[in-house]
Amino acid sequence: MIRLFGRYIIAAALMVALVISAGVAEADEVRIGVGTLGPISPQAMYQIEELVGSQPNVHEIPIVPPGDVDACVKRFVAGETDDHLDGVMVVSLPTDKFVTKNDQNEATFSGSYEIWLLNLTTLAEDRHAFTFQDSEPVVGGVAAILTIPAQFLNQAAGGGKLISSNVYQAYQSVQNRVEAKLVGATKLYLASSPLGQIGTIDPLQTAQALIDRGDGDTALAVFKAVGSNDPRVKTLMAAGEGKLKRAESARWLGKTLGAMAGDNPEQAGEMLASYEKSSAAEPARAQAIRRVLASYPHQEAHSPYAAVIDSDVPSLDHTAFVAMLTQLFSDETGTAPDDVIVSGSAVSIQDKDSPKGMKSHLDAYARALGRSAYAMSIKCGCAASAELQSEVAGAPLLRARFEPSFKQPEVGLP
C-alpha cells in the first residue's frame, strides 16, 4: 500500500510539473505577424506560415503588411489590443524582378525573394534576399510563354484555354518548383534568423527605441496606448523630452541639408529659418550654413555645400536623415516620394509617379538618386547604394552607388 501510494505521489508530481512547464511555454510564446507582398500563392503562403509557427514558442498570425517600421508600430503596438504583436515578418516576391530568357527549346526564369523581420520591442530589422532560377523545356511555342502575365505564381494564368497545353504545363511545373524554392529559402532563413531573439512586446522599450530614432510622433502614440497616467510613461517622457526636442531640430536640419544637396538654396533658407526657431538649434551650425548659402546660391562640384554636408550628415538621427533624403528628392524632382527606407548602407526611394516623371526629367531623378547614395555614404562612412522604385515590391527603375573614394556617384539602369 505504501509503495502504491508513493507511486501515486510521484505521478501526481510529474503531472503538476508538466502543467507548470506547459504554462511557462505558453506564457513565453510570442506572436509573429506574417504577411506577403507580390504574387505568392495562398498555398505557398500557408506553408511559410506553418514554418514560422513551427519555431519554438512562436505563434504566427496572418497579416496584411501595413508599411514601414512606423506603420507597424502604430498598428501592432499602439493600435487595438487584439492587433498587438511581438514581431513582424514580411516575405515579398517583386513581380517586376522576374527575368525570362529563352532559346528555341528552353525557357529560364529567375527572380528575387525577400524577407523582412522586425522586432517590435527593439525595432531591430533584419533583411535578407534570395535569388532563384529555374527552367523548363518547351516543345514549340516558346514565345507564347512570354505573353503570360508575371502573376503566374498567384493564379493559373490562361486557364488552359488561351494557351497550348504544353506551355501551360511548363508554367505549372515552374510554379511548383519555384514555390518549393521559396518555402525552402524561408526554412533556411529561419534556421539562423534573429526570430528567436524576439520576446514579448515591451511598449515602453519600443517608445524608447523610437525616441532614440528621433521619431517623437510615433513614440507619443505608444505612450498614449500605454496610458499617460502610467508613472513609467511620465518618467520616460520626462527623460526623453530633451531627445525629442533635439530630434525635432535635427529634422529641420536634415531638411535644410536635403534642400542644399538638391540645389534649392531658396528652400534651404526657409528650412534653415525653421531650424533656427526650433528649441534645440545650434546657433553656430546655423550661422555656418547661412554663410555658405549666401556665398554659393547654386551647388557646383566641390562647392562648400559639400563641406557642410560632410560635417553635419553623420550626426543626424534616423528620422532626420530620412527627412533630408525626402527633401532632397522633392527639390530635385518636384514631387515628394511616397516612402524613403534607410537600412544599413542602402536607401530605397518609393515613388509611384516616378515612371511618368522620368520620361521628361530623367536627369533630375538620376541626380536625386546619385546624391542620395552620396549622402548615405557620408552617413555610414562606407560604400552605399540607392534605388528608385515605383511600387513596394517592384523592380528598381534606377540604381546608384557611391564610395568614399568616388568623385561622383554612379547612376544607371538596373
Least confident of 33-42, 349-358, 377-386, 391-400: 391-400
CB 249 within 8 A of CB 278: yes
* DSSP code of residue 69: H
pLDDT tens readout for residues 334-363: 889 988 988 888 999 988 888 888 888 888
Mean pLDDT of 374-379: 92
Return the DSSP state at 147. T
H or E segment and range at residue 87: strand 87-92
Top pLDDT among 35 and 28 is at: 35
Distance of CA 124 to the CA centre of its chain: 11
Distance, CA of 285 to CA of 298 (rounded, Å): 20
Does a structural domain hold residue 214? no
**182 and 119 within one domain:** yes
C-alpha cell at 4: 502504491
C-alpha span between 207 and 233 (Å, rounded): 9
Q: Three-state DSSP class for 268?
A: helix
For residues 89 and 220, give the distance between their C-alpha atoms in angstroms, rounded to a whole number: 24
Q: In 10 A of CB 91, how many CB atoms?
A: 25
Task: Characterize the bridge pairing of strands 87-92 and 30-37.
Answer: parallel
**Within this chain, do residues 66 and 133 fall inside the same structural domain, yes or no?**
yes
Flag whether 7 is in a domain.
no
In the prediction, which pLDDT does 62 show? 95
| Residue 389 to residue 407: CA distance in whole angstroms | 25
Residues 45 and 175 both lie in one domain: yes
| Coil/strand/helix, residue 334 | coil
Residue 305 sits in the same domain as residue 375: yes
Q: What is the mean pLDDT of residues 373-390?
A: 91
What is the domain extent for residue 315? 245-412
Band the pLDDT of 122: cuts 50, 70, 90. very high
| Rounded CA separation 370/386 (Å) | 7
pLDDT band at 106 (very low <50, low <70, confident <90, very high): low
Per-residue pLDDT, 33: 96
Whichever domain contains 106, its CATH number is 3.30.160
pLDDT, position 159: 39
Q: Where are the alpha helices (DSSP H) in 106-164?
A: 142-145
**Torsion angles phi and psi, residue 134, rounded to 5:** -155, 160
Verify that 295 and 400 share a domain, yes or no: yes
| Gap between the Cα atoms of 164 and 86, Å rounded | 48
Cell (9 digits) for 176: 511548383
- Statement: residue 281 has pLDDT above 80: yes
Per residue in 212-231, pLDDT (tens digit) is 888 878 888 888 888 877 77
The tally of CA atoms less than 13 A away on the side-chain side of residue 13 is 6
Say which residue, 379 or 170, is predicted with more confidence: 379
- C-alpha cell belonging to residue 120: 517590435
Residue type for position 143: A
Q: What is the rounded average pLDDT of the residues 144-170? A: 45
Residue range 35-70, pLDDT digits in tens: 998 878 889 999 999 999 999 999 999 999 988 898
The DSSP bridge pattern shows strands 346-350 and 384-389 to be parallel
Biggest CA pair distance of the chain: 101
Is 230 contained in some domain?
A: no
In this structure, the answer to whether residues 188 and 307 fall within a common structural domain is no
> Is residue 227 assigned to a domain?
no
Question: 323 to each of 198, 339, 361, how far by Cα in Å?
Answer: 29, 11, 23
The confidence score (pLDDT) of residue 100 equals 61
- Give residue 162's pLDDT band: very low, low, confident or very high (50, 70, 90): very low
In this predicted structure, the answer to whether residue 299 has a pLDDT above a threshold of 50 is no
pLDDT digits (tens, 9 = 90+) for 168-198: 566 667 777 878 888 999 999 999 999 999 9
Mark which of 169, 196, 223 sits at the end of a domain: 196
Q: Is residue 234 part of a domain?
A: no
Rounded CA separation 285/271 (Å): 14
Q: How many domains does the chain have?
A: 2
Q: Do 39 and 173 reside in the same domain of the chain?
A: yes
CB 97 within 8 A of CB 70: no
Which DSSP string do the residues of 292-342 spell out, in sequence order?
HHHH-SS--TT-HHHHHHHHHGGG--HHHHHHHHHHHHHHHHSS--SEEEE
Mean pLDDT is lowest, of 28-37, 106-115, 294-303, for: 294-303
Task: Please tell me whether residues 286 and 177 are part of one structural domain.
Answer: no
pLDDT band per the 50, 70, 90 thresholds, residue 295: low
Nearest one of 411, 398, 396, 412 to 96, comparing CA atoms:
396
Report the distance separating Cα 42 and Cα 45, nearest Å: 5
100: which residues sit within 8 A by CB, 6+ positions away?
107, 108, 109, 145, 146
Q: Looking at the structure, do residues 60 and 181 belong to the same domain, yes or no?
A: yes
pLDDT tens figures, 245-265: 787 888 888 888 888 887 778
Cell of 259: 534642400
pLDDT of 160 reads: 37
What is the pTM for the complete model shown?
A: 0.64
Q: Do residue 314 and residue 255 come from a single domain? A: yes
Q: For the residues 129-152, what does the mean pLDDT come to?
A: 59
Choose one of 196, 220, 235: the last residue of a domain.
196
Does 2 reside within a domain?
Answer: no
Residue 110 has pLDDT above 50, yes or no: yes
- Kindly tell me if the per-residue pLDDT of 14 is higher than 70: no
Indicate whether 249 and 149 sit together in one domain.
no
d(CA 186, CA 202): 27
pLDDT tier at 413, thresholds 50, 70, 90: confident
Q: Which one of 162, 196, 230 terminates a domain?
A: 196
Mean pLDDT of the chain: 79
Residue 116 β-bridge partners: 90, 127
The arithmetic mean of pLDDT across residues 391-414, rounded, is: 80
Q: Is the pLDDT of residue 21 over 50?
A: no
133 and 273 both lie in a single domain = no
- Identify whether 217 is part of a domain: no
Cell numbers for 53: 509557427
* Phi/psi at 116 (5° precision): -125, 125
